[in-house]
Structure 1
């Protein structure tokens, strides 16, 4: 995490592949959710809520309310 944060501070784009929701929620600015080798959705972490993100990561197609 420290190395990623250091790179982000100097403006480096970092690609992270992970299923660790807590890590992603605390580290990334955009989340690209993939399924079957395709991008399903792209979420801006500053605008998205945790329920929506978890739903998309689990393959949900509907918004969680």
Structure 2
């Protein structure tokens, strides 16, 4: 089986929305766009869910006892 590796753009680490504003705006909405995500959008979502945040491989998402190692 052949493996394809796709290089993703680096995530954006500085947002324009404060934590408080993000919490106030947070809603579960089940409406989807017809257009597919571009690579930079996909990269940002993947980093936000599981991205490495430092040189010791700490992650953006919590894990019980760092079980991802």
- Using the size of structure 1 for normalisation, the TM-score is 0.24
- Using the size of structure 2 for normalisation, the TM-score is 0.23
With a CA cutoff of 8 Å and minimum separation of 6, indicate the structure with the bigger relative contact order.
2
